[in-house]
Amino acid sequence: MATDPPKTSDDTTPVITPEQAKELVREGEEAARAYRERVEVMWTISKDTRQTRAR
Protein backbone atom coordinates (compact mmCIF):
# COMPACT_ATOMS: atom_id res chain seq x y z
CA MET A 1 0.00 0.00 0.00
CA ALA A 2 1.09 3.54 -0.63
CA THR A 3 2.45 5.49 2.28
CA ASP A 4 3.43 9.09 2.83
CA PRO A 5 6.59 10.17 1.07
CA PRO A 6 9.68 9.75 3.25
CA LYS A 7 10.55 12.76 5.36
CA THR A 8 13.94 14.26 4.67
CA SER A 9 16.03 16.38 6.97
CA ASP A 10 16.27 19.02 4.27
CA ASP A 11 12.86 20.46 3.47
CA THR A 12 13.96 22.56 0.51
CA THR A 13 14.02 21.22 -3.01
CA PRO A 14 15.76 22.83 -5.98
CA VAL A 15 13.53 24.62 -8.44
CA ILE A 16 14.50 24.54 -12.09
CA THR A 17 14.27 27.94 -13.71
CA PRO A 18 13.56 28.22 -17.46
CA GLU A 19 17.24 29.02 -18.10
CA GLN A 20 18.41 26.04 -16.05
CA ALA A 21 15.91 23.80 -17.85
CA LYS A 22 17.46 24.74 -21.20
CA GLU A 23 20.93 23.90 -19.90
CA LEU A 24 19.85 20.56 -18.38
CA VAL A 25 18.07 19.57 -21.59
CA ARG A 26 21.08 20.53 -23.70
CA GLU A 27 23.45 18.57 -21.47
CA GLY A 28 21.20 15.51 -21.59
CA GLU A 29 20.78 15.64 -25.38
CA GLU A 30 24.52 15.95 -25.92
CA ALA A 31 25.33 12.97 -23.67
CA ALA A 32 22.56 10.88 -25.23
CA ARG A 33 23.86 11.69 -28.74
CA ALA A 34 27.36 10.48 -27.82
CA TYR A 35 25.90 7.30 -26.31
CA ARG A 36 23.75 6.64 -29.40
CA GLU A 37 26.83 6.81 -31.60
CA ARG A 38 28.36 4.00 -29.56
CA VAL A 39 25.11 2.04 -29.79
CA GLU A 40 25.35 2.21 -33.59
CA VAL A 41 28.69 0.40 -33.28
CA MET A 42 27.09 -2.20 -31.00
CA TRP A 43 24.46 -2.84 -33.67
CA THR A 44 26.86 -3.07 -36.63
CA ILE A 45 27.93 -6.69 -36.71
CA SER A 46 30.31 -7.86 -39.42
CA LYS A 47 29.54 -10.73 -41.74
CA ASP A 48 32.50 -12.69 -40.35
CA THR A 49 31.17 -12.34 -36.82
CA ARG A 50 27.68 -13.38 -37.85
CA GLN A 51 28.99 -16.50 -39.55
CA THR A 52 31.23 -17.69 -36.72
CA ARG A 53 29.78 -20.73 -35.04
CA ALA A 54 29.36 -21.29 -31.33
CA ARG A 55 29.77 -24.90 -30.29
Enumerate binding residues for another protein (CB under 8 A): 1-6, 13-18, 20-22, 24-25, 27-36, 38-39, 41-43, 45, 49-55
Give the Cα separation of 26 and 20 in Å (integer): 10
In the complex, what is the shortest distance from the CB of residue 2 to another protein, in angstroms, rounded to a whole number?
5
In the complex, what is the shortest distance from the CB of residue 24 to another protein, in angstroms, rounded to a whole number?
4
In the complex, what is the shortest distance from the CB of residue 20 to another protein, in angstroms, rounded to a whole number?
7
Q: Which residues of 35-51 are buried (b: 16+ CB within 10 A; e: fewer)?
A: eeeeeeeeeeeeeeeee
